[in-house]
Amino acid sequence: MAATGPVPFKDVDDGTFSAARDPKEEFGDLVVTLPRKEQFLVGRLYKGFWLPEPYAPGILAFQRRFTPRPDDVVLTSYPKCGTTWLKALAFAVMARNAYPPAAADHPLRRLNPHACIPFMEDIFTERREAKLESLPSPRLINTHTPYSLLPETVTTGGGCKVVYICRDPKDMVVSLYHFLRHLQPGLSFSDTFDSVLDGTVPYGPMWDHILGYWHASVTRPDRVLFLKYEDLLQNTGEHVRKLAEFMGRPFSAAEEALYTVASIVELCSFDNMKNLEVNKTGATEWKCKNMAHDSFFRKGVVGDWMNHVSPEMATRLDEIFHDKFRGAGLI
């Protein structure tokens, strides 16, 4: 019997796949003409968004070359808004027949969530499209690409689904600061904060990133699911059911009777994930930078911004986002 997806990306043999065309050869000339800003990573302004320079050619290749399958699910997020958690939950939900969540040998107990679901920026930058194509359906894939820059085949046709997660920008900026400090110990919080305020933060402006997915979820609710980290944290089980239903894998009465949802919530919970050996050691090997697994699990709470952001700074950030979101029905 042919394997059904999703399977952990890392488990697929790297073997004999040939490398795709180098996106730097294809799009490098275009990228060097784009406005450039030295931030934590160098950014390039493309169609209104500051793309991390090392990934810009790969994002363009993803946009032009990716062919979705009708049953693909694209997991999208603004960075530091719960990507790792969403990846874990979506994988656990979609793969629950092959990998029961309570099983001791569940892939998420031996692999970091980023090793289970491929990150498009990295796949296209590293020319690993053949491996992506080899995955059995349904596939789960992940990107931070803004909605307006997604492949047209994803946003207008193809039939695949998109799940987006965002978060209170104040908690995002604190999370981003701590994450980036793993790469740049000297980074100041005020520089990180200012980059969110002026929109030059990687994949920024954050408000436009959120709004793109929000509007899409309003106009195409059957295709785009919009989640908030805070809601997920408040009632994880309810949102896991919502996610499963949206992805076309609702829980049956028999599964409910067996507490499958609770098992998934527990498997993917912050405390469980953070304390797994695999997440305390090792690193995710991305082209941009290798990131230590433990850097993806810090506090996992709502409101940690209060320990870093002064009331005046909070008001400034809130005012900008309220202003940008006015009339969108989002807050």
- Using CB under 6 A as the criterion, which residues of the chain lie in contact with ligand A3P when the complex forms? 77, 79-85, 171, 175, 178, 268-270, 273, 296-300, 304
The angle subtended at Cα 47 by Cα 55 and Cα 331, nearest 5°, is 95
Residue 238 CB, nearest approach to ligand A3P (Å): 15
Taking the C-alpha atoms of residue 206 and residue 228, their distance in angstroms, rounded to an integer, is: 14
Residue 29 CB, nearest approach to ligand A3P (Å): 32
Residue 106 known to be catalytic: no
Place of tokens 């028999």: 254
Residue 38 backbone phi and psi in degrees, to 5: -80, 105
Residue 158 CB, nearest approach to ligand A3P (Å): 25
Q: Which residues contact 294 (CB under 8 A, 6 or more apart)?
A: 274, 279, 280, 281
The answer to whether residues 41 and 288 touch, using CB atoms and an 8 Å cutoff, is yes
The angle subtended at Cα 148 by Cα 145 and Cα 153, nearest 5°, is 90
Residue 165 CB, nearest approach to ligand A3P (Å): 8
Q: Which residues contact 278 (CB under 8 A, 6 or more apart)?
A: 109, 110, 111, 112, 293
User: H-helix or E-strand containing 61?
Assistant: helix 56-65
Residue 80 CB, nearest approach to ligand A3P (Å): 4
Give the pairing of strands 290-292 and 283-285. Answer: antiparallel
Taking the C-alpha atoms of residue 307 and residue 147, their distance in angstroms, rounded to an integer, is: 32
Asked whether the CA dihedral 10, 16, 17, 19 is positive or negative, the reply is: positive
| 20 vs 95, beta carbon nearer ligand A3P | 95
Q: Of the listed 106, 114, 144, 209, which one is catalytic?
A: 144
SS3 content of the chain, % helix, strand, coil (to 5): 50, 10, 40
Could you give the residue numbers annotated as active site? 144
